[in-house]
Amino acid sequence: MKKVLSTLVLGALVITGAFAEYPSKTIKLVVPSKAGGSTDTTARLFIDTAKKYWKNADFVVVNKPGAGGLIGFSYEQRQKPDGYTIGLMFTPQFVAHIVSKKAKYTLDDFKIIGNLAQDPGIVVVNAKSEVKTLDDLVRLAKSKTVTAAVNGIGSDDFLAAKQFEAQTGVKFNLLPTKGSTEQKTAILGNHVDVAFMNLSQMLANHKAGKARIIAILDMKRAEVAPDIPTSVEQNYDVLMTATRGMVIRNDVKKEIADKIRELYMQVIKDPDFQAKAKKSFIFLDPRPGDEYRKYLEKLQADIQRVYDKTPW
Amino acid sequence: MILLDAMQAVMSVDVLLAVVVGTISGIVIGGIPGLTATMAVALLIPITFSFSPLIGLAIMGGVYAGAMYGGSIPAILLSTPGTPAAAATALEGYPLTKQGKGGLALKVSVVASFIGGTFSVIVLLAIAPVLANFALKFGPAEYFLLALMGLTGVVSVATGGLAKGILSGLIGLIIALIGTNPMTGMTRYDFGIVELYEGVSFMPALIGMFSISQMLALTGERNIAKSDVDLKKIKREKLPKGIWPFIGYGTAVGTIVGIIPGEGATIAAFLSYNIAKAKSKMKHLFGKGNPEGIAAAEAGNNACVGGSLVPLLTLGVPGNTVSAALMGGLMIQGLIPGPELFTKHGVITYGFILSLFLANVVFLLTGLFFAPYFAKIAKVPSSILVAAISVFAVVGSYSINNSMFDVWLMLIFAFTGFFLDKLGYSLSAIILGMILGPIAENGFTQAMTISAGDSSIFFESTIAKVLWVIIVVLLAQPLFTHYKNRRQRIKAMRME
């Protein structure tokens, strides 16, 4: 009797285990950068809010930093397609690695859940600099060697600087740095003439009057800093935006993928999440799967063109 | 006036509790290799959002200060630095533990950490805005010189003779070449392994060479300490005479290096250690357990805590990864680094700085109280200890980047380190080369890019000139001693 009972219980356990509704175990959110960075904060805020909607789910952040996100992106692609790994990614690196043939994945390996946030590119100078517009910058670059700090080769900053060069015919003395802190110090300490960065990195310094952002590399002005003109307004067709989205493996079952998509929509519309993001200088930019996928495809084609001319 | 309000704010029960909880968990986190203050602060960011700003910051500040001290405990007792910044401490601390004087080493370490930490917070409180401008004067050329200054330490950390010391430093520099060339974006010596694109990760190398290679050596012994460890004796033991100037050197070096953005604490500790050796009257004891080395190194790394907050609070330029994470904690509370932090949000900002004083007091009391009990670890049988530490080493190496590759890396470093050590090469010089190589390279190539290939950029600024003088002084002394010893040896040989 005892034996029969235990078999029954065991059988029941196995069955509930197999058919247990997703999510029944801990979900990993893979962050392809260090703890404490902007992508990391986005992920942690996401989890904080996600728990409101999936009350029984457990989430954990797994940081896989290094090689401009490549280590993390590749890791996301190697995990089991069971829906318990959700990957964060950021552009343009996510597609740039495909273009430069460093990545072993392609866009087709992933289902795109959607974009979370964006951070437009900027051109920034020291507050005391005589450069006030992009025209000034071009004029200066034609009269002397202008040193421009970009965050590493192949980064969004680097691509923006290369676009600017191609558009205007000027040639910068490019200074690749390790991380945005080095760029910040270089601009604030007047060690370089100009830097290509992202809005969130310099907004506070711009507002405090220590640095001057002379252009936002976007179609429209930023809500948080309406005083800064865009590149398009200044008649320069140089556009660059870093985005941060979510992906899962392409072979995750459709039902599970739909659930994750639903969660993504719930979180990104949550007022509490929006308030926390705003304070952390995370500029939310909801773009669901298909729309974001089109953006990624176009971005990859654009980068391919730059790469074909000047590979790195 | 603001200061008084801030003091009142700090003296509430919940803020005090936050400091105590933060600091003690910081000590634990710092003491376990593989857990870092950066991770802990990042983990706290969304949680502290629901607290009042000061409580959130007090916990984070406590974790930061506590972890910086906590790293020294396993460094001294087990030659396993909990944080890279505690590597220099291990050089003197572990030999003392072997002599049964682990308790004394722990006491020196906690007192030095306290003084270094407290002084740097005073500096932060008093003259942060003035110092921020100094931080900005540091350009790539100055970074290169700072790295060069650190590299002079190769000569003084080396114990097996000058030639082998320099060779060890070079091995470190060569390992540092692995990874992406910062100027071209091309990868070097990576054998197509993605994990090596950003270079050999440092913590696994440190755990392998310092910790596991020592554990291998320990397998032949019954336990770490040769002599008995007496609880009562440790409790009564006084700090060694003449230790104070060495705490002073560390404090000064740490505060200055901390203010400069960049991974300061490890460099500050080694630089202070180096200066302590140059200044010491007991040079021959260095490497064999000289408390002066611990005093300088620990004061040095803890003084970086206050220093690194100067550019963070005034300019929004985080000095290292912990303060970068801290910046996230500030911003989510609506506190944006800059001048407003000291006026409009003065009560919170000054409250945060004051809570750092308390954090220093908390770890001082905790450290002094537990030192004798911790020291008992030296009598644990090797058969248990070696196994336990090895588990920690593997888990620690894995958890830094959640990477199995790092575990293999740690093991490779452990075995090569063991043999290099037996052959008389200096593992600390290798570590020093590994830390400073990338900083030197980055500074050098960036400076040369800015100056378009004109090397006079390394001599232009006043800071650069001062750094050159210090470099020459630091190099001259050990080289002179080496030359003198050689002459004497040759003379002695002729006499025979």
Question: Quick one: closest CA in B to A181, which residue?
Answer: B317
Tens digit of each residue's pLDDT (9 = 90 or more) over B447-475: 999 999 999 999 999 999 999 999 998 88
A19: pLDDT strictly greater than 60: no
Q: How far apart are CA A205 and CA A215, in angstroms?
A: 15
Domain count, chain B: 1
- Best of A29, A38, A42, A44 to disrupt the B interface (most B CBs within 10 Å) is A44
What distance in Å separates the CA atoms of residue B324 and residue B309, rounded to the nearest whole number?
Answer: 10
Shortest Cα–Cα distance, A274 to chain B (Å): 12
Q: Is residue A259 part of a domain?
A: yes
Is the predicted pLDDT of residue B483 greater than 90, yes or no? no
CB B335 within 8 A of CB B34: no
Residue whose tokens read 């192949």: A154
How many domains does chain A contain in total? 2
CA pair distance B444, B442, nearest whole angstrom: 6
- The b/e string for A170-189 (b: 16+ C-beta within 10 A; e otherwise) is bebbbbbbbebbbbbbbbbb
Taking contacts as CB-CB distances below 8 angstroms, the residues of chain A near B460 are none
Chain B residues with beta carbon closer than 8 angstroms to that of A156: none
Q: Are residues A139 and A106 in the same domain?
A: no
Residue B105, C-beta contacts closer than 8 angstroms, at least 6 positions apart: B76, B92, B93, B96, B97, B289, B291, B294
Beta carbons of A189 and B43 less than 8 Å apart: no
Interface membership of A63 toward B (CB under 8 Å): yes
- Number of C-beta neighbours around residue B471 at 10 A: 17
| Minimum CA–CA partner of B187 in chain A | A67
What's the mean pLDDT in B198-215? 91
Judged against a pLDDT cut of 90, whether residue B404 lies above it is answered with yes
Contact of A28 with chain B, judged by CB distance below 8 Å, is answered with no
pLDDT digits (tens, 9 = 90+) for A178-205: 888 889 999 999 999 999 999 999 998 9
**What is chain B's mean pLDDT, rounded?**
90
Domain stops at, among A172, A199, A216: A216
Shortest Cα distance, chain A CAs vs residue B215, angstroms: 29
User: In chain B, which among 27-56 make CB contacts under 8 A with chain A?
Assistant: 36, 38-39, 41-43, 45-46, 49
Check if the beta carbon of residue A152 is closer than 8 Å to that of residue A182. Answer: no
Shared domain for A102 and A135, answered yes or no, is no
Query: If you average pLDDT over residues B431-441, what whole number do you get?
Result: 92
Three-state DSSP at A245 gives: strand
In a domain, A9, yes or no: no
Q: Nearest C-alpha of chain A: how many angstroms from B365? A: 30
Q: What is the mean pLDDT of residues B106-124?
A: 96
Q: Name the pLDDT band for A6 (thresholds 50, 70, 90).
A: low
pLDDT for the residue A10: 55
Does residue A293 register a pLDDT over 90? yes
B381 touches A: beta carbon within 8 Å: no
Q: Which domain holds residue A212?
A: 120-216
For residue B344, the distance in angstroms to the closest alpha carbon of chain A comes to 13
Same domain, A131 and A64: no
Predicted-complex ipTM score: 0.86
- Find out whether A45 and A11 touch, Cβ atoms under 8 Å: no
- Which of B313, B335, B336 to probe by mutation at the A interface, max A CB count within 10 Å? B336
Amino acid letter, residue A254:
K
| Secondary-structure percent of chain A, ordered helix, strand, coil, rounded to 5 | 45, 20, 30
Burial of B494 (0-12, 13-18, 19+ CB in 10 A): exposed
Chain centroid to Cα B271, Å, comes to 10
Beta-ladder partners of A150: A176
For the segment A242-269, the average pLDDT, to the nearest whole number, is: 96
Distance in angstroms (rounded) separating the CA atoms of residues A38 and A31:
10
CB contact under 8 A, A276 and B43: no
Q: Which residues of A touch B42 (CB under 8 A)?
A: 35-36, 40-41, 44
Same domain, A103 and A163: no
What pLDDT band is residue B241 in, cutting at 50, 70 and 90?
confident
Q: Could you give the 3-state DSSP secondary structure of residue A120?
A: strand
Distance CA A56, CA A149 (A): 47
3-class state of residue B120 by DSSP = helix
Does the pLDDT at position B79 exceed 80? yes
CA-to-CA separations, A166 to A220, A229, A305, B452, in angstroms, rounded: 22, 21, 12, 22
- Closest partner residue to A154 among B185, B316, B446, by Cβ? B185
User: Are the beta carbons of B139 and A186 separated by less than 8 Å?
Assistant: yes
Q: Which residues on B lie below 8 Å from A48 (Cβ)? A: 46, 49
Q: Based on DSSP, count helices (H) and strands (E) in chain B, helices before strands.
A: 23, 2
Mean per-residue pLDDT, B170-186: 90
Q: Which residue does chain B place closest to A155, by CA atoms?
A: B185
CA dist A90 and A31 (Å) reads 10
Whether residue A125 contacts residue A194, with contact meaning beta carbons closer than 8 Å, is answered with yes
Q: Are residues A137 and A273 part of one domain?
A: no
DSSP chain A: -HHHHHHHHHHHHHHHHHHPPSP-SPEEEEESS-TTSHHHHHHHHHHHHHHHHSTT--EEEEE---GGGHHHHHHHHHS-SSS-EEEEEETTHHHHHHHTT--S--GGGEEEEEEEEEEEEEEEEETT-S--SHHHHHHHHHHS--EEEESSTTSHHHHHHHHHHHHH----EEEE-SSHHHHHHHHHTTSSSEEEEEHHHHHHHHHTTSEEEEEE-SSS-BTTBTTSPBTTTTT-----EEEEEEEEETTS-HHHHHHHHHHHHHHHH-HHHHHHHHHTT-EEEEEEHHHHHHHHHHHHHHHHHHHHHS--
pLDDT at residue B331, rounded to an integer: 86
Cα–Cα nearest to A304, from A114, A107, A90, A149? A107
Q: Are residues A111 and A247 in the same domain?
A: yes
Residue in chain A nearest B402 by alpha carbon: A64
| Closest Cα in chain A to B405 | A71
A18 pLDDT above the threshold of 90: no
Looking at B59-122, which runs of residues are DSSP E strands?
A: none
The percent of residues above 70 in pLDDT, for chain B, comes to 99
Can you tell me whether residue A22 is helix, strand or coil?
coil
Q: pTM of the entire structure?
A: 0.87
Q: What is the pLDDT of residues B326-381, one digit of tens each?
A: 988 888 888 888 878 888 899 999 999 999 999 999 999 999 999 888 988 888 99
Residue % of chain B over a pLDDT of 90: 56
A13: pLDDT strictly greater than 60: no
- Give the pLDDT confidence score for residue B181 in this predicted structure: 86
Please report which confidence band the pLDDT of residue A160 belongs to, taking 50, 70 and 90 as the band edges.
very high
The band of A80, judged by pLDDT with boundaries at 50, 70 and 90, is very high
Res A274: pLDDT:
95
B461 shares contact with chain A (CB less than 8 Å) = no
Contacts of B408 (CB under 8 A, 6+ apart): none
Range B176-192 average pLDDT: 87
The pLDDT assigned to B282 comes to 87
Nearest CA-CA partner of A175 in A188, A157, A163: A157
Q: Is residue A1 part of a domain?
A: no
At B3 the pLDDT is: 87
A61's CB contacts (< 8 A; 6+ apart) are A29, A31, A35, A40, A43, A44, A47
Name the residue range of residue B238's domain: 2-495
How far apart, in whole angstroms, are the C-alpha atoms of residue B206 and residue A114?
A: 40
pLDDT-derived band at B39 (thresholds 50, 70, 90) equals: confident
Sequence-distant (6+) residues with CB within 8 A of B418 are B212, B213, B216, B217
User: Is the CB of A312 less than 8 angstroms away from the CB of B184?
Assistant: yes
Contact residues on chain B for A153, CB-CB shorter than 8 A: 183-185
Query: What are the angstrom distances between the C-alpha of A11 and each of A3, A24, B151, B153?
Result: 12, 18, 65, 66
pLDDT of residue A20: 66
CB contact under 8 A, B182 and A152: yes
Give the mean pLDDT of chain A: 91
Per-residue pLDDT tens over the stretch A47-67: 999 999 999 889 999 988 888
Residue B157 has pLDDT above 80, yes or no: no
Name the one residue in this structure whose structure tokens are 């950390």: B157
- Please name the residues between 182 and 241 in chain B that touch chain A, using a CB distance below 8 Å: 182-186, 194-195, 197-198
Query: Which among A199, A216, A233 is the end of a domain?
Result: A216
